[in-house]
Structure 1
Amino acid sequence: MTRRPVLLTITAAQALSVASASVVAVALPQLGRDLDASASELQWVVDAFVIVFASLLVAGGVLGDRVGRRTTFLAGLSLFALGSLWCALAPSVPALLVGRVVQGVGPALLLPASLALVTAIFPDPVERARAIGVWATGSGLGLASGPTVGGILVEAFDWRAVFAINVPLAAALLVVGVRGLPRLPPTPSPHRFDVGGALLLTGGIAALCFAIIEGRTLGWGSPGIVASAALAAVLLAGFLRWEQGRPEPLVVPALLLQRTFLAANLAGGTVFFALIGGTVYFTAFFQQVQGRSALESGFCMLPLGLAVVLVAPLAGRLTPRLGAGRLMLAGLAVAATATLLMLRLEPGLGYGAIWWNVALVGVGTGLALPPMTVTALSAVDPARTGMASAVHNASRQVGQTLGVAVLGTIIAAHAGAADGGRALRGVAAQDWVDGLHVALVVAAALLVAVAVAVAALVRPGSGGPPAAATTGTVARPAGPEPLRPAA
């Protein structure tokens, strides 16, 4: 199989798994009625997937480096299919939550392995940047199309369809992957996998995500949230201490402070903070404030996903020519501008006056995703791409979790809305929209602040330093040269 079909297979698998974070949202009302679920249980149907996904990303990426990216990718896709089948057949909420946990493990293995595979299959820097542009469309398309696809499936069938559809799609991708993915050699190492570091980091990220997600409903000063945040701080600090001097650390501590790697992760977390937080509450605006159906609200968000699909490959092609630094800054600037333009949102504003603004958010996101991914991967040697990919994707996942929680808290505090600002529940529509305006200003200000940081950390024309420039941050030299699959 040639490289292009392999790239499309990897991108499709990524889009399918990432969509599970948003596709289930439109199915919750019907799911709640069918399984007699409480509001708290419905929230955990979403949160169980997010917490497991985010907390296992880094461990999954490093595991891929150790046992092989192809093996890890196929294992992640298989687990995702198995979890989806379990969810589709679940007779109760507890059973459904088990399936969501298994679903979350799948992308935690698949996502970093997919990017590491792209890096190995396209060793030439110019070709790699273009391929990463295609790969980046998977995240944008999956996240933005989730509500639309979910609405179609729920209206045509029922809530179980949003899980059942994953099974044949994942099975088809598995068949193509088994036949077409190259057998790349894993990174050899005389040392054991860093189990202690994996447990500390996984526990720390899980506790942090729990505090972020539940803080908006339980109260940021509640004992459970304070305890969870304190536990996260202790575990993450313990992780950094544990990694010092390890012969084979899970994450090389010095890499976290490497200028371009830090810039890429700041940009990734911030873009997803604004993108996912904005997507959730723009959808709530169309559905809660303007009274549109779940399906219609999903279609209202389609311009964002389509813009990412069109712009991200173009940004990948432009990255070698213009430099990752310039394109990252351009993406952050467009995203901040689009966010501020969304201040035009009012309860009675027609969609004809909004759709291009929704698309502009996608343009900014599509411009930023490829160059910041290229920059993150350029900070390590080829043997560590799984680890770099995992850390970068974890920063995005934590960013999107923060975005939903923080922006929702701002809306709720300003408007007195319940449920973290997602629902009106007695709040005047104008008050909710006024709260949304405050949240949008905060998101735009953060995008501008990170753009300033990126300008200071990355040279405008830089595509990131070559791997050889970062040997001081890598525990050992690169493994064998990645193989190119046969045409």
Structure 2
Amino acid sequence: MLAILVIAQVMSVANANLIAVALPPLSADLDASGAQEQWIVDAYVLVLAALLVAGGVLSDRYGRRRAMLTGLTIFAAGSLACALAPSPEVLIAARVVQALGPPLILPASLAILTASVSDPLARARAIGVWGAGSGFGVAVGPLIGGAVVAGLGWRWAFGVNVPVALALAAATPLFIPDDRPARAAHRFDVRGALLVTAALGALVFGLIEGPARGWTSAEVLASFAVAAVTLLVFISAERRHPAPLVDLELVRRPVFAAANLAAATILFATLAVSVYISAFLQTFRELTPLETGLALLPLGGAVAVLAPVSGRLTAHVRPRTLIATGLLCAAVGALLLSRVGGADGPGDVWLALLLLGAGAGVALPPTTATAVSAVPSARTGMASAIHNAGRQVGATLGVAALGSIVVSHAAHGGAAAYADGLSVALVVTAGLLAAVAALTLRLIPRR
């Protein structure tokens, strides 16, 4: 069972960024414009972040195994459509369909894991392995994409998902117990689902488009305004609904808020570092996609090795200690990485990437365990959905905010200018990680 849940987690998360290494041959083959390239990557992240909360609630109401099966089937169909796409427009639409699967898969997988393992020590160990999937998926996405593109071509960067997703769907009824939730006393909060999806969608759109369109452009400012207004309407509607989509009392709890902020900050750092170090190595050091994926392996490898260890330690060590330690380790890695120069290569960044990955591996499992333990078992789908949505929003914010710093420096041209932008962005990242570590120690109690 654990293998099914972890593979589904890695597959869902890795597809957010493995496509980046396939863009050059894809664009040449389909004659995609620069804007279309942007949306081929961003359509997946936008839909994923916007629908995670609604997907979690649906899994609670209609069954987590059913949600897993539905999500895997949709994901396989969307991946097949991507692999066969004859034009950029069709590919962008197929990426939207593909992204409809993970909002059902991710919350259901964590909820199934939490409900199926009753022993606290075994649950902590299992959550540690599951938690490694998110950070590991982000880190190894370029490596997987590079290997597939080099060996089989860009269409297989999508096509490889089809047999994997179908195999997981076939195995799910065999190894995951069926759950039949009691009939809900109130109807599904459709209005809340639409409002939170609109708010998150508008926010993510602004964060994604800000660097390209300009942070003061009419489209970006309008998207942030829509996000703010829609969020206020959502809060008002949730307070009046008898069975709200999001338990606002839960969101206001300091422990839950701190755990989600810490996880979002880790993804803020790791995805942005993967994207911009990858771009630096391919553009200025002329590494191939596969070589770049290998250069980023210390980041993903550290997460994969240390997350299960951290999961086991969660049963014996205070979560606040593990979270703060991981955040500070990641901050040291980001600060060390900020010393990157225009002539540096993979050998100059591996130690910093290793420290950043180690921090992520230590911090992520206790953030997940803390978040899901803050709610009754019947609402773990909702809690994990909020947790995963927070991670995706954090990752998107990292790429957008740090990208604007990098791009503003890179406009001056050359490897040195790009490296200067990376340095400033990474110093900001290190400061944010350290600040959230301090906030974690303040908000999460010792017991």
Task: Tell me the TM-score normalised to structure 1 length.
Answer: 0.90
Is 1:459 paired with 2:445? yes
Counterpart in 2 of 1:7? 2
> Where in structure 1 are there 5+ consecutive unaligned residues?
1-5, 418-426, 463-487
Question: Which of 165, 181, 188 is residue 186 of structure 1 equivalent to?
Answer: 181
How far the C-alpha of 1:297 sits from its partner, in A, is 0.8
Deviation readout 1:255-299 (Å, 9 max, x if unpaired): 111011000111011111111111111111211222211211111
Q: Distance in 2 between matches of 1:287 and 1:61?
A: 38
Counterpart in 2 of 1:51? 46
Counterpart in 1 of 2:306? 311
Is 1:450 paired with 2:436? yes
How far the C-alpha of 1:184 sits from its partner, in A, is 1.8
Q: Distance in 2 between matches of 1:141 and 1:399?
A: 16
Q: Distance in 2 between matches of 1:400 and 1:308?
A: 16
Question: Is the 1:187–1:383 contact (alpha carbons within 8 Å) kept by the matching residues of 2?
Answer: no
- Give the counterpart letter for 1:436 in structure 2: L
Question: Is the 1:22–1:143 contact (alpha carbons within 8 Å) kept by the matching residues of 2?
Answer: yes
How far the C-alpha of 1:171 sits from its partner, in A, is 1.3
**Structure 1 pair 204/187, CA: closer, same or farther in 2 (3 Å)?**
farther
Counterpart in 2 of 1:287? 282
Q: Distance in 1 between matches of 2:192 and 2:351?
A: 46
Is 1:331 paired with 2:332? no
Is 1:232 paired with 2:218? no
Is 1:174 paired with 2:160? no
- Number of equivalences: 447
Task: Tell me the TM-score normalised to structure 2 length.
Answer: 0.98
Deviation readout 1:126-175 (Å, 9 max, x if unpaired): 22111100101211221111111111111212110101101111111111
Bigger drift between 58-67 and 133-142 goes to: 133-142
RMSD between aligned alpha carbons? 1.1
Counterpart in 1 of 2:397? 402
Counterpart in 2 of 1:102? 97
How far the C-alpha of 1:192 sits from its partner, in A, is 0.2
Counterpart in 1 of 2:250? 255
Counterpart in 2 of 1:85? 80
Aligned pairs for 1:84-163 (under 5 A) are 84-163=79-158
Counterpart in 2 of 1:301? 296
How far the C-alpha of 1:75 sits from its partner, in A, is 0.7
Question: Is the 2:6–2:133 contact (alpha carbons within 8 Å) kept by the matching residues of 1?
Answer: yes
How far the C-alpha of 1:382 sits from its partner, in A, is 0.2
Structure 2 counterpart SS, 1:344: coil
Percent identity, aligned pairs only? 51
Is 1:274 paired with 2:274? no
Question: Which of 324, 333, 340 is residue 335 of structure 2 equivalent to?
Answer: 340
How far the C-alpha of 1:187 sits from its partner, in A, is 4.8
Q: Distance in 1 between matches of 2:46 and 2:366?
A: 27
How far the C-alpha of 1:350 sits from its partner, in A, is 4.4
How far the C-alpha of 1:185 sits from its partner, in A, is 2.6
Question: Is the 1:380–1:388 contact (alpha carbons within 8 Å) kept by the matching residues of 2?
Answer: yes
Structure 2 counterpart SS, 1:322: coil
Question: Is the 1:154–1:161 contact (alpha carbons within 8 Å) kept by the matching residues of 2?
Answer: yes
Counterpart in 2 of 1:467? none
Q: Distance in 1 between matches of 2:411 and 2:303?
A: 34
Bigger drift between 279-288 and 206-215 goes to: 279-288
How far the C-alpha of 1:76 sits from its partner, in A, is 0.6
Counterpart in 2 of 1:420? none
- Give the counterpart letter for 2:39 in structure 1: W
Question: Is the 1:68–1:187 contact (alpha carbons within 8 Å) kept by the matching residues of 2?
Answer: no
How far the C-alpha of 1:349 sits from its partner, in A, is 2.8
Question: Is the 1:325–1:454 contact (alpha carbons within 8 Å) kept by the matching residues of 2?
Answer: yes
- Give the counterpart letter for 1:135 in structure 2: W
Counterpart in 2 of 1:198? 193
Counterpart in 2 of 1:23? 18
